[in-house]
Structure formats: C-alpha cells, structure tokens
Structure 1
Amino acid sequence: MFAIWWRWGLIATVPLLLLAVWDFFQDEHTLRRNYPLLARVRWLMEDLRPYARAYVVESDLEGRPFNHDERALVYARAKGELDSHPFGTELDVYSAEYEWLAHSIVPNETAPAEWRCDVGSSQCAKPYSASLLNISAMSFGSLSANAIMALNKGAAAGNFYHDTGEGGLSRYHRSHGGDLVWEIGSGYFGCRDDDGRFSPERFADTAQIDQVKMVEIKLSQGAKPGHGGVLPASKVSEEIAEARGVPVGKDCVSPAAHSTFSTPVGLLEWAAQLRDLSGGKPVGIKLCVGQPHEVFAIVKAMRETGIRLDYIVVDGAEGGTGAAPVELSNRVGTPLREGLILVRNALVGASLKDEIRLAAAGKVHSGAGMAMNFGLGADWCNAGRAFMFSLGCVQSMRCHEDTCPTGIATQDATRQRGLVVPDKAERVARFQRATLHGLREMVVAMGLESPWQITPCHINERLDSARAAPIDDIYGFLEDGALIADPDATAYARCWQLAQAASFQRAA
C-alpha cells in the first residue's frame, strides 16, 4: 500500500518539480524566475478573476457592461421563467442611477396588444413593417454559425428582423427564412469586386432576395467609431470567404472610410442607387454620432437634393462588439442618449422626421429602456448583446479570443456544438416577445395609446439627491422646422452654420 501511495506521489510531484526547474532557468518572466511555480498562481487567478468577480464578489448591480440583474432579466424571459423582482427595487432612488417614467392615475388597459413601425419614405416602393425590437448588427465570423442560425430562426418565429452585420449575408442568415436587414460596411462584403470596391451587380443579386427587407449603410458603430479592421488570413475560412466575397486565406481588410462617397450629397446619391438596385426597398444609415455638424450636413443635403433616407439607426458608444481597440471603446463616440437626441433634433428641426424613421441601439435589454428611447425620439429599438444573453451568453469577456464557452462568439466547432439551434431559437423569440410585453405594460401604466406618445416630459432624471427634473428641462428638444425658421435661436446654431451639403468638412 505504501508503495502505491509513493508512486502516486511521484506522479503528482515530478511534473511540478520539472515545471519549477523550467521556471527557474527561463528568462522571459521575472516573477517565474524569482518564484518558480508559485508565481504561476498569479496567472491562474487572472484567468479565474472574471468568473470569481461575476459569481462571488460583485453585487447584483455592480457588473459591467451588464450587471447581474440585467442579465438575469434576459435569462428569465428567454427561458419563459418568472421575471418578477421581490421586495422592492435595489436601486438607490435618490442617486443618479435612478430615472423614472411618469405613470398615469388612469392607466390605458385598452392599448393595442402590439405595434409595428412602417419604414419607408415617399421615395420607397417597398416599405417594411418592422417590429419594435429587432436583432442588431452582428456578423457571421464574429458570431458562430449556430448562433446566427438560432437568431434567424428566432426572428422568423417572432416576426422581427435580423441585421446581418457588415460581414456579409451568409448561408446561415438565410437558413430559417427570418427577415433580414443587410448591412453594408466600408468593406462591401458580399457586394464587392475583386479590387474590394462596391459592385452594383453583385449588390442587386443579393438585395433583391425576398428575405432581405431593408438595406443599412454602416457609417460607424458604437464600440469602435471611425475604425476599420483586418480579419487575418488565418481566420478567413471557406465559409467566411463565401459570405464576404473574398479569397480564402488572405487578409480581409475593412477600411475606416467608404470609397463610394466622400460627401453628404454623395452618400445620399449612393443610398438612392441602392434603393433602385434593391427594387425599391428601404435604405438607411447607421452611425455613432461624432461631430454634430456632420449630422447636420446630411440633413442639409437631404433638403437640398430632395433625396431622402428611409431611416437612421443611432448606435450609442455603450454598444458592444467582439473586439475593439480599448481607446476607441472607452473614449470615442457619443452615448446613445445624447446621440439620439441630437439626431432627433436634426430631423425634427429640419421638418424631416415625418418621413424618416429613427431607431436606437445601445444596451437595450428591457421594456423600460425601450420606453426611454421612444421618449427621446426613437421609432423602434435594436439589441445585440441582450439577444446574445438569450442564446446563453454568460459575459465571460472572451469574444475576441475565439474561446467563448457558450459557442456564441467562436468559430471553434467543438464549442459551437453546445449551442443547440432549435432550443436557443425558442429562447430568442421568447425574450423578444416578453420584452415587448414589458414595453406595453409601460405604455399602459402611462395612460397612453402607443409608445410613440411617450415624450421627454414623461422621463425624469435626478440632478442630485435633492433635485430631479423632466428630461426636457435638462436637454433641449427642438420644435418642428426650428432649424429652418430660425437656427440662430437654437442651441445648434454654430453646428448648423458649420454644416454644408457639399462636404463633411466644416464650412469656412
């Protein structure tokens, strides 16, 4: 018996001893050289830190980018479980974290069970009736094939749309027939020629597919505005090459800027071309607001040329992505609230809001959050990470390492195996349906007939522990035509003067 234990002791200790010797003589890491074997505990704790923090250390409201309570709400709704909260709010109602919507003494229980948003200007031949909550842009390549299929199957079951992301329209997006919004980025994936420039012929072939309901020009995204990217050759598999229309095994470059236009007028002329090539489907833009005069330049171009976009999606700086330079994700881009208000004011102030729909994207995960966005001018909302949670994402923060433990943000086939498409698709549809029900409950409680009746005066924000005010006392909201009638009387006078339809540069 002693001999058996002795042998097992050697089996356990000899590898550790050899590892300690290796650490002592290696010259890459000082800590391992000075503290052989023991220093490795540091790296072990670094690896375990996200999980320990999320499951042991953090309170229900401390996690970032989504806290435990926010994730738990999505999980419960996706699984069809009870989503009520006991014993009152955990928020400090006298701190800046508490915002509230003003309810009515007379709730409107006869409000419609569902609303949809008709998207399409007077120049659009095939308007689209959009759900009020849809799947935001997430590309195949960033997400796995199984994740894309589950999202699309859920979208088909729930009658809402699935944005392809700029990585092209893959076979997996088409796998279950869910409505698609085809996003076109600066790489023109899926509609590019051999030199990487936009190909009208290739675009028309795909855009006229019935499953494609709208086209979205991506100008920038919240997580990394103003930044292109390179998918290394080693990651350009046959499937990704097929979706993007690029050679297998070669670097796939997505420039920071578009090559099809360089001015506001050029952008609108291209949008009009895309609308014609698609057979008259709605064409819009997505952007994270940066320099305000550029937004006003697009508005001025629409008024001067008569060309209309069908919709604009405002992405907030709090939006997410698989990977982004930390400087851009932390310090570049306007948060959703300020960006949404600015674009709303630009459209309303120029008397364009009646024709052009406005969508909000950025940490949307609940009916209350949607209601806030409607009050700021949104016509519908898109969500990305919330739908990832509905698939089973645990916020492990491994999206950029191809080691996602839930098989969502990885191309590793063994990890994808755990994501069962039919089961997760049901969760996607349930989450979307329950969240829209949550939005309706907010509308009913406020005594309104639809979420478009929510106004800034319904939203209250804390200034400090002793003072609060309706949000229209804090931010300015323009009246219809204010930028046309008297721009100098608005807070945007300087930005309006700097904007010019012929250039994104500031006017002299």
Structure 2
Amino acid sequence: MRNQFIGLSIVTCLTLIALSLYWPWVWWSFVVVGPILFVGISDILDKKHTLKKNFPFLGMFRYIMEDLRPKIYQYFIESETDGAPINRMYRSIVYQRAKGALSTNPFGTKINVYHEGYEWANHSVHPLDHHDLDPHPRVMIGGSDCKQPYSSSIFNVSAMSYGALSDRAIEALNGGAKKGGFAHNTGEGSISGYHIKQGGDLIWQIGTGYFGCRNKEGAFDEEMFREKSSQPQVKMIEIKLSQGAKPGHGGILPAVKNTKEIAAIRAVEPYTRVDSPPAHSSFHNPVELMHFIKKLRDLSGGKPVGFKLCVGNKLEFTDMCIAMQNTNITPDFITVDGGEGGTGAAPLEFSNNIGMPLRDGLAFVCDSLRGYGLKKEVKILASGKILTGFHIFRAFALGADACYSARGMMLALGCIQALECNSNHCPTGIATQKQHLIKGLNVEDKISRVAKFHNETVKSFVEFMGATGVDTPTKVKRHHVYRRISQEHIKTYAEIYPNIKVGEYA
C-alpha cells in the first residue's frame, strides 16, 4: 500500500501539473490534494505507527474512529441503563434536578426488576406525608473529645482537588455548598483561594503528600496545619488513608495539570507529575494513627477529625478498633469509600480489581464499630456512586450517617462523561487547567445547579423515606432494603448483612 500511494501521488501530481498548463484553474485542485499528500508522506516517514506507515493517509482514520468511538457509543448506541461508569438514566436525573427541570419518569421503570441484583424498598400502607418531615436532615459530627462539633448535611461534595478540577469548578462547587447548606471536601490538594472565595463549609482532606501542611522534605508541618485548620470555613479534617478508585496507590496529578499556582498551593515543583506516597509517614500502625488523630484535633482547636478509607484487609480495620479501645482515642467520623469510586487518573487494575465495594465495606465498618462498642462516638460517611435518594436511603440502611457524592456533583456542574479527566482536555472546563476551556464554565450558573441538585436529591430521599413509613434517617434499617438474589429468591439487607449486637466483640 505504501508503494502504491507513492506511485499514485507522483502520477496525480504530474497529471495535475500538465493539465494546469492548459487550464490554470486546475491549480486549485492542490487545495484538496496537497493536504492528502502531506499527511500521506508524513505517515510514510512515521517510525512509531506501523498501521499509518503501511497504509498512508488511510491508516489515520483508524485513530480518528478510535477517538470517536466512546462519543458515538454514548450518544447513539448505549441504552438508558447500560452506560458506564454512570449510565444515561442516572446522568439524566442529575441534569434534570440540577436544572430544576421536570424529573418525573414516564411510562414506568426501565430497569429489569426480575434481574439478579435488583434492589428496592417496600412502602408502608401507612406512609408519612413528606411535608411533615424535616426537609433538610442533618447529623451532628463530633465525639466526646470534640470541642467544635459540626452539624452536617446528609449529602455533601466528595473529595476532588484543585488541580484535578479547574479553579472555576472548585469555586462553583463551594458556592453551591454555601447556597445549599452542605459541606465541600477539598480533596488532598489542599485549600486554595477558590475554596475560600464563596464561603462554603470545608472538610479539609489531608493525604499522604500532606499538601498545604508539608515542609520541604514532604513531611507533616504542625504549624502550617494549625494555621490553615483554624480558618472558620474549615469545619472538619479528614485523613485520607486510601480512596476507592485506587486504594494503596496514592494520588496522581499529571504534569500538564500541575501549574505554577497549583504547585505553590501544594508546595511542589510546577509542571512535574506529582505522585502522593502510598502510605503516611506520620504514623505506621493503628495506635500511632489514633495519636495522630488526637494531635490534629488539638492543633485545630477541637474540630472533628476522622479518616477515609476503602476497606481492604478486614483484620487491619479491626486492629484500628482495638487501638481505639486501648488508647481511648476515637475518630469523630470515618468515611467509607467503595471500590467503585471515581478518580481522574488511576491504573486500570486498581480501578477494577482492588478495594471492597461500598455496600460490603460500609456494612463491615458499621458492624465492627458496633461490635467494639464504638459506634456512638463515631459517625460514618459513605462515598461511591451515590446519585439519587434511593442511593442515600440504601447507604443509611447499611449504617451510614451521611453521604458524599463526587461524580454526581460533577454532572451537576455540566460534566458530559467525556472520559477526558486524565488528559487535561475536558471539554466542559471542569477537569482541566486549560484556560480556553475553563472560560466556558459560568460560575454563577453552576453554583445554582449544584445547589439545586443537592436540594432535589435530599428532597427525593425524604419523600422516599416517608413512603416507607420512616420519619427520620436514623430509623432507616437493613430490613427496609431488599435485593433479588435469583429469579426465585429475595433477601433483605438484614439477611445479607446480619446486624452485630453492640459490644459483641468487646
């Protein structure tokens, strides 16, 4: 094919030159032929792509179609329920609620209710009028050693760093949190001016890189932490042990996203890839972790301090519970992330095959805390594909006290699931640091959308809860949720995840 292209190109050029001697307008044909020849010759000289070298010009279309494939699939092929990682049905409900558009569902469910894994809650013949229920349920986070407990919404913005997201995206999320009365987790990239500008409540996440509170060697800096944690907007501190999308790996900030501003906030070199260490250097065992929690609580003036993890080795978590008992130090909250959690950049093997899924991890953490008699001191936050009122209800049934959402909030910002988060080419200006793309994101409009998505989702949860005859989130229990195990068998969550009695392990 390569030789044929060269021969055809020579013949075409000679023919057009000859014809142009009689008809000068033939020269205009090179406007079309010229680019084809240029691409073809470039392909022949290409030393990296065998397909392009062997099939000049034509080989290029393979890469074009490969790039277009996800877009074509999303818009023309996938059904309402089979898209990934977030299917069209859930994307649509987030968009509708964020815009304040009609969010009712016509002509019945699109889900196969007889398919294995289908889940639901049974309604009560004595449902409660949701107008009589608290429209904005909140939970008080802070144990007996906490001097500044925080009244949290049951639905909050999950951890997403400035760097992974753009400045305008961060500002819009925080503005939405301020307007809607919920909290915004900073992610491990620390607190930026865009987190502060709108005045929304912050949960400051401290990762293994200690960004925002690290010295030149990358170790934890107590004074920097004291200074930042004392800010009135910082309501809680979350130590990230691991996240669901890449547990045991550490965060990744691609070099193209590590601008001078972001590098200054994180105290790292600009335009270099920043890999957070897999583990913390400030503690190396459960007892040291408890003492680190106490240190952060003292340095912050008594604000709630907790940790986030995707459950892995169960014995390691039970060791943490034993350390809580032995030291008499407990975190104020624990965030449980699921293996299905999202990120802008993670190795495929980590996203697909490491970490316990949310429902299993959440039930295990709740049962462990109950078994060791610790649950009264520790609140549990759940994170991992929580997008609707039923998702919140299901998390509460398994033991959660509040929930986080990352991708739901991104969709509310206008994310179209282009799957370009790790490339710096996000077309909606959310997961990029390219200013010409970021400029298209209208902060004020997105603030309103984020707040509406939050409020409508909480409203749907309250309505759903009322339909089951439950009047407060703390009364949502495992027997309320059902799962189809097979065509003939159905079990409640209470049967799948049997409750552990308080103090059973003590």
User: Which band: TM-score by shorter chain?
Assistant: over 0.9
Letter in 2 for 1:76: Q
CA distance in 2, matches of 1:233, 1:389: 25
Q: Deviations 1:43-71 (Å, cap 9, x if unpaired)? A: 11011011100000101111000000100
Partner of 1:403: 425
Partner of 1:104: 124
CA distance in 1, matches of 2:198, 2:173: 9
Letter in 2 for 1:31: L
Moved more, 118-127 or 464-473: 464-473
Q: 1:66 aligns with which of 86, 90, 94?
A: 86
CA distance in 1, matches of 2:252, 2:224: 22
Q: 2:389 aligns with which of 367, 371, 377?
A: 367
State the 1:175 CA deviation.
Answer: 1.0
1:304 lines up with 2:347 in the alignment: no
CA distance in 2, matches of 1:251, 1:91: 42
CA distance in 2, matches of 1:200, 1:4: 78
State the 1:251 CA deviation.
Answer: 5.6
Q: 1:54 aligns with which of 70, 74, 81?
A: 74
Letter in 2 for 1:368: F
1:225 lines up with 2:225 in the alignment: no
1:26 lines up with 2:46 in the alignment: yes
Moved more, 217-226 or 473-482: 473-482
Partner of 2:14: none
Q: 2:411 aligns with which of 384, 389, 392?
A: 389
Q: Deviations 1:109-157 (Å, cap 9, x if unpaired)? A: 1322221000000000000000010000000000000000000011000
Partner of 1:443: 465
CA distance in 1, matches of 2:275, 2:50: 38
Gaps of 5+ in 1: 485-508
Partner of 2:167: 145
Q: Does the C-alpha gap of structure 1 residues 407 and 232 become closer, same or farther in structure 2, counting only changes over 3 Å? A: closer
TM-score, normalised with respect to structure 2: 0.93
Q: 1:81 aligns with which of 85, 101, 105?
A: 101
Moved more, 96-105 or 18-27: 18-27
CA distance in 2, matches of 1:34, 1:250: 36
Instruction: Decide whether the 8 Å contact of 2:412 with 2:449 is kept in 1.
Output: yes
Letter in 1 for 2:112: D
Instruction: Decide whether the 8 Å contact of 1:131 with 1:161 is kept in 2.
Output: yes
Q: Deviations 1:220-269 (Å, cap 9, x if unpaired)? A: 00000001245466643221123213344566441111000001010010
Letter in 2 for 1:384: A
Q: What SS is found at the alignment partner of 1:204?
A: helix
Q: Deviations 1:417-442 (Å, cap 9, x if unpaired)? A: 01010000100000000000000011
1:10 lines up with 2:30 in the alignment: yes
Instruction: Decide whether the 8 Å contact of 2:162 with 2:262 is kept in 1.
Output: yes
Q: Deviations 1:386-407 (Å, cap 9, x if unpaired)? A: 0000000000000000000000
Q: Does the C-alpha gap of structure 1 residues 232 and 429 become closer, same or farther in structure 2, counting only changes over 3 Å? A: closer
Q: What SS is found at the alignment partner of 2:238?
A: strand
Q: How does 1:3-402 map to 2 (within 5 A)?
A: 6-109=26-129, 110-229=132-251, 231=253, 235-248=257-270, 252-402=274-424
State the 1:14 CA deviation.
Answer: 1.6
Gaps of 5+ in 2: 1-21
Q: Deviations 1:174-210 (Å, cap 9, x if unpaired)? A: 1100000000001000001111100110000000000
Instruction: Decide whether the 8 Å contact of 2:146 with 2:332 is kept in 1.
Output: yes
CA distance in 2, matches of 1:288, 1:80: 34
CA distance in 2, matches of 1:99, 1:26: 53
Instruction: Decide whether the 8 Å contact of 1:169 with 1:244 is kept in 2.
Output: no
State the 1:473 CA deviation.
Answer: 1.4
Q: Does the C-alpha gap of structure 1 residues 221 and 108 become closer, same or farther in structure 2, counting only changes over 3 Å? A: same
Q: 1:423 aligns with which of 434, 441, 445?
A: 445
Q: Deviations 1:281-304 (Å, cap 9, x if unpaired)? A: 000000000000111011101111
Q: Does the C-alpha gap of structure 1 residues 4 and 395 become closer, same or farther in structure 2, counting only changes over 3 Å? A: farther
State the 1:307 CA deviation.
Answer: 0.6
Instruction: Decide whether the 8 Å contact of 1:287 with 1:314 is kept in 2.
Output: yes
Q: What SS is found at the alignment partner of 1:151?
A: helix
State the 1:465 CA deviation.
Answer: 1.3
CA distance in 2, matches of 1:389, 1:23: 39
RMSD: 1.5
Moved more, 109-118 or 54-63: 109-118
CA distance in 2, matches of 1:3, 1:453: 87
CA distance in 1, matches of 2:256, 2:446: 29
Instruction: Decide whether the 8 Å contact of 1:102 with 1:446 is kept in 2.
Output: yes
Q: Does the C-alpha gap of structure 1 residues 195 and 416 become closer, same or farther in structure 2, counting only changes over 3 Å? A: same
CA distance in 2, matches of 1:41, 1:253: 35
Letter in 2 for 1:406: T
Instruction: Decide whether the 8 Å contact of 2:250 with 2:276 is kept in 1.
Output: yes
Partner of 1:468: 490
Q: What SS is found at the alignment partner of 1:183?
A: strand
Bigger radius of gyration among the two: 2
Instruction: Decide whether the 8 Å contact of 1:171 with 1:243 is kept in 2.
Output: no
TM-score, normalised with respect to structure 1: 0.93
State the 1:97 CA deviation.
Answer: 4.1
CA distance in 2, matches of 1:169, 1:69: 34
Moved over 6 A (4+): 2-5
Q: What SS is found at the alignment partner of 2:505?
A: helix
Instruction: Decide whether the 8 Å contact of 2:94 with 2:453 is kept in 1.
Output: yes
Moved more, 144-153 or 8-17: 8-17
Q: Does the C-alpha gap of structure 1 residues 268 and 5 become closer, same or farther in structure 2, counting only changes over 3 Å? A: farther
Instruction: Decide whether the 8 Å contact of 2:242 with 2:250 is kept in 1.
Output: no
Instruction: Decide whether the 8 Å contact of 2:164 with 2:253 is kept in 1.
Output: no
Q: Does the C-alpha gap of structure 1 residues 230 and 330 become closer, same or farther in structure 2, counting only changes over 3 Å? A: closer
Letter in 2 for 1:303: Q
Identity of aligned residues (%): 46
